Structure 1
Amino acid sequence: MEASTEYEFAPLRIPPGTSRSAAATMLSLQSDLGGWELARLQLHPDGTRKVILRRRSRLSYLPGPVI
């Protein structure tokens, strides 16, 4: 298991009313353009999605998440 200091994390909130396919597309773009991967996703009863993205620290020259 790798140490968590090798990763940087970015919390995101996807508002309620965002379709599942739109949320998947947003996260896919973050992955392709910024080197982020999904670390955790929580779906709340009101429809809000709380997302934690992570990427290796050595990729910090790439842009941050944009949502």
Structure 2
Amino acid sequence: MTGRRPAGTIGAVTGTGSEYEYAPLRIPSGTSRSAAATMMALQSDVGGWELAHLALHADGTRKVVMRRRMRLSYLPGPVV
């Protein structure tokens, strides 16, 4: 389990040379579906992030990848 981030944390915001930057987010298993949707809606409203990928794992954790255009980099990063 070394090298893993704790649940509910945001990894490094990265740009892959494209016009988007990406921020991985892991939502813990105890979080309800409506709470997770609210968290992602707040990210969208505050920082210009949009949902790029969502995966629900067997243990109930959600792995979310948010993205935004590079030109919006002056906006704040994702909020945990």
Specify the alignment match of 1:60 in structure 2: 73
User: Secondary structure, in 3 states, of the residue corresponding to 1:5?
Assistant: coil
- TM-score, normalised with respect to structure 1: 0.93
Pair 1:34 & 2:47 matched:
yes
Higher helix share: 1
- TM-score, normalised with respect to structure 2: 0.78
Specify the alignment match of 1:7 in structure 2: 20
Higher relative contact order (CA 8 A, sep 6+): 1
Identity among equivalent pairs (%) = 78
Could you tell me how far 1:66 is from its partner in structure 2? 1.1
Listed as ranges, the gaps of 5+ residues in structure 2 are 1-16
Residue identity matched to 1:65: P
Task: Please give the per-residue CA displacement for 1:5-61, whole angstroms capped at 9, x wherever unaligned.
Answer: 100000000001100000000000000000000000000011000000000000000
How much is the aligned-residue C-alpha RMSD, in angstroms?
Answer: 0.8
Residue identity matched to 2:64: V
Residue identity matched to 2:77: G
